[in-house]
Chains A and B, each alone.
Chain A
Amino acid sequence: SAVISQKPSRDICQRGTSLTIQCQVDSQVTMMFWYRQQPGQSLTLIATANQGSEATYESGFVIDKFPISRPNLTFSTLTVSNMSPEDSSIYLCSGSGPVEQFFGPGTRLTVL
């Protein structure tokens, strides 16, 4: 199994600003993912973070709004850019196991 940590655990931000969330895995994982969970809803996959190359985004998510980096096999960042109140959500990163995923504790973002 893998243990995943995220920073910050929560933040309150002003409209129009950007926030970068860090995700650290304690062991190498093949794939890392970023999810969003809006209030009362399911986990929605934002993108697959690819090591050393551009992330692969799901429909409805674009690099300009959610730039992602993955410089090595154990670290990734997600930036939420030019935030609006609609971006208030929990953002989770995960790493892939043989079958299952291991999730970080999430970052609770509130945009005022």
Chain B
Amino acid sequence: DQQVKQNSPSLSVQEGRISILNCDYTNSMFDYFLWYKKYPAEGPTFLISISSIKDKNEDGRFTVFLNKSAKHLSLHIVPSQPGDSAVYFCAINDMRFGAGTRLTVKP
């Protein structure tokens, strides 16, 4: 029973453009949705979260959108930078993670 799905295993964008990472979930009974970033040989680090009562949360270059009717979550990074190249995981607050999307930002 995979409650969090990231259907795109990888994404490649040009530096300066927008990166959009997507996540779908199956159960509506959660308080928070979170995005984590993971570099090789490191543990995941928290990036941004959104409460289930909101539809948007912004922090600098990172914005998370929540579409509750579609049970869809997206992370927008703009402008994308080469240092953003990492694996991004979405997660729900009962500690379940999506499969991850590997983002590559090309200079």
Contacts and interface: CB of A to CB of B under 8 A. Distances in A.
Interface residues of B, number: 18
Contacts of B95: 33, 45, 101
B43 A94 contact: yes
Consensus secondary structure, chain A interface: strand
A29 B100 CA distance: 26
Q: How large is the interface on A (under 10, 10 to 19, 20 to 34, 35 or more residues)?
A: 10 to 19
Given A99-B32, A101-B44, A101-B95, 7 more contacts: A42-B97, A44-B97, A100-B34, A100-B46, A100-B49, A103-B45, A105-B43
8 contacts: A4-B43, A42-B100, A92-B43, A99-B32, A100-B46, A100-B49, A103-B36, A103-B44
Interface of B: 32, 34, 36, 41-46, 49, 89, 93, 95-100
Interface of A: 4, 33, 41-45, 92, 94, 97, 99-106, 108
